[in-house]
Amino acid sequence: MSIEVNKSVISRYYDLVNQGALDALVELVDTSCRSPNDGQFDVCELQRYLGGLRSAFPDMIWRPLDMMAEGNRVMVLAQITGTHLNPLGDLPPTGTRIAFEALQAYRVSAGKLCEHWRIEPVA
C-alpha cells in the first residue's frame, strides 16, 4: 500500500470515530490488532472503549492537526475535545470541557489498522 492509502485509512478511522459510526470500524481494524499500550485487542473491544468515551463525551471530536507517514506507519498529532456530560466508569459527569493534544502512531497493513501506539499528554 502507498503512503497516501495508509494515511487515508487513518483519516477514515478518525472520521468514523467522530461520526460515532463505530460498527463500521470492522472495515478498518485488523482482527489481530495490537497496541504496546494495551496488548492485543479486537474490534469489539475497541468499539466498547470508544463507545464508552463517546457516551461520556457525546460531543467528542478527534481532530487531526498533522499527519505524517513513512512506509506502513502513520503518525497523527490530534486535538481531542469534548464535554463530560455522562458517567465515565465510576466518575459522574462534571460538565467540564476538555481539550488536549495527543500523539498517536499507527501501522497499516493490507488497508487495515493493525497496530496502534498512543503517547499520553503530560501535564
Cell numbers found for residue 74: 502513520
Domain of residue 106 covers 3-119
Number of domains within the chain: 1
Confidence of residue 121 (pLDDT cuts 50, 70, 90): low
**Rounded to whole angstroms, how far apart are CA atoms 72 and 113?**
10
List C-alpha distances in Å: 113 to 11, 66, 84, 95, 99: 11, 18, 28, 33, 25
Confidence (pTM): 0.90
Residue 28, C-alpha cell as written in the block: 478498518
Torsion 105-108-113-115 (CA) sign: negative
- Confidence band (pLDDT; 50, 70, 90) for 122? low
Q: pLDDT tens for residues 67-111?
A: 999 999 999 999 999 999 999 999 999 999 999 999 999 999 999
Helix (H), strand (E) at residue 45: helix 43-56
Answer whether residue 123 shows pLDDT above 80.
no
* 61, pLDDT greater than 70: yes
pLDDT of res. 32: 81
Beta-strand ranges (E) seen in 10-72 are 29-35, 39-40, 61-70
Give me the pLDDT at residue 76, please. 97
Angle at 72 between CA 66 and CA 77, to 5 degrees: 20
Q: What is the CATH number of the domain that holds 91?
A: 3.10.450.50
Contact between residue 29 and residue 112 where contact means Cβ atoms under 8 Å apart: yes
Q: Is it the case that residue 37 has pLDDT exceeding 80?
A: no
**Please, which pLDDT band fits residue 3 given cuts at 50, 70 and 90?**
very high
